[in-house]
Structure 1
């Protein structure tokens, strides 16, 4: 089993047809069918079921598709990292950023990379905090940006200053004084927040989101008072909502730049970490 066979199999699995997979790979159908048969013979199991309208994956095929996609992504990331180490400040930096840190990273200072090293490019990946941790742990992203709370085991971290939550208030749900509001003052209004924030609240939110930017959208639509990190506001349209700091120290969070503790950073990643700084 080699990388070419895995690439061919992933194309078949994702296209659902050998003919369509061959077009995607820019090869003819016979060699693709041959490689699939060779792979099934080598593994000693059927990977696809052939039908008049295409192919469907067997249970073994679904497992191989999942693993093969990861192996191919890891091979790409490894080639990129080795190239970066060998050439210095060239190549591609893979940076994973959690949704709730979108207002802090990549940041304007990271744009200096384009001036310092014109041959450098950045591949941005985003997702939840657990997803970013997984991308960094697997090596698919060399550097990540996450937000507390998270497990820092096996990681090196550079933390930003503590940051308060803000309440994004539709006009009809305004509470608190001119600049601040306490949670007790929000007890009688529907709340909108991410699962990460909800885990720290005694009150069950009316609108639960996976992404803090979606929380702002809920508030702008009048569904509830949204609770999001203050820095996120630079990336969101909150319409006519009032914005007030949530005066609760226990709800403050910190963003952090992370990378694996047991791997030396490439010169490109080292420069990126220095430019990201403390995410100020």
Structure 2
């Protein structure tokens, strides 16, 4: 099966109709039907069931659709990388970003970078730390910005400065004697909203301080934490860099006075994989980050 056939099949899967898929691809229906039949013969399974509602995917078809999307994504990434392999003065730089990177990315030097290389375009993919690492392993992105803690096996890492956690407090749950700092003791028993990946880190520090961790909401994105805190559902715990994205009109933000409650934004690449010249030049801008 070639990439042209995969593109054809993706069109059929998304349009749910052979005629509409052919129109989207700019071809007539008979060649598309012929290619679909050829794929089914090659794979030995039925991929599409035609019915009154159009072309419905079989279980095998749904599996092929998911895998075809991945292959086409990787093929596109490979083509971008090869095209940019010259002097590094042009091309596309594919980056993976976590939402909590917004406090540091875009970094100040990136304005100079685009000034020096105005023909470079950024292709940004967003997700949580595990999703960004998955995109990196699949070759969809060349570099990723993720946040500790994570398993660094197979990755080369450059760590940014440690970031303390901050407490995002709605008016109904504002605690702490100091205007800009709150202790774990003051947060003890207060309903807490936080990103799931920080659970072990936060629980360990609360236990060490002999404080009660009262979790009100566990979620999968620091932006969700901020939203729930802003709407009075609890005190949100997020990295300090997230404050740039917080609507602070209805909340109070205080740094958590706990040396162990920190995370670090980390620039990662796949170990041993050669970067495009554009990516190599971009990486130079983070030379002051700790290498591991």
Where on the TM-score scale, by shorter chain, does this alignment land: which range? over 0.9
Deviations 1:21-75 (A, max 9, x none): 1222122222111111111111121111111121111121111111111111111
In structure 2, what is the equivalent of residue 66 of structure 1? 66
Q: How many residues align?
A: 280
> Is the aligned partner of 1:224 residue 2:238?
no
- For 1:3, the equivalent position in structure 2 comes to 3
Q: Secondary structure at the match of 2:103?
A: coil
Once structures 1 and 2 are overlaid, which stretch shifts more, 201-210 or 21-30?
Answer: 201-210
**Offset at residue 4 of structure 1 (A):** 0.4
- 2:107 is the alignment partner of 1:107: yes
Q: 1:257 & 1:93 partners in 2: Cα distance?
A: 14
TM score, norm. by length of structure 2: 0.91
TM superposition score normalised by structure 1: 0.95
Contact between 2:190 and 2:214, CA under 8 Å: does it hold in 1?
A: no
- Corresponding position of 1:241: 251
Q: Is the contact made by 2:99 and 2:222 (CA closer than 8 Å) also made in structure 1?
A: yes
User: What's 1:275 paired with?
Assistant: 285
State the secondary structure of the residue aligned to 1:19: helix
Q: How does 1:3-22 map to 2 (within 5 A)?
A: 3-22=3-22
C-alpha contact (below 8 Å) 1:255/1:279 kept by paired residues: no
Query: Higher strand fraction: Structure 1 or Structure 2?
Result: 2
Give me the CA root mean square deviation: 1.7
Conservation of the 8 A alpha-carbon contact between 1:113 and 1:120: no
* Paired position in structure 2 for 1:97: 97
* Structure 2: runs of 5+ lacking an equivalent: 204-212
SS of 1:49's partner is strand
| Alignment check: 8 A CA contact 2:89 2:120 kept | yes
Q: Which residue of 2 aligns with 1:262?
A: 272
Q: List runs of 5+ in structure 1 lacking aligned partners.
A: none
2:192 aligned residue: 191
- Written as runs of structure 1 = structure 2, the 5 A alignment for 1:72-151 is 72-151=72-151
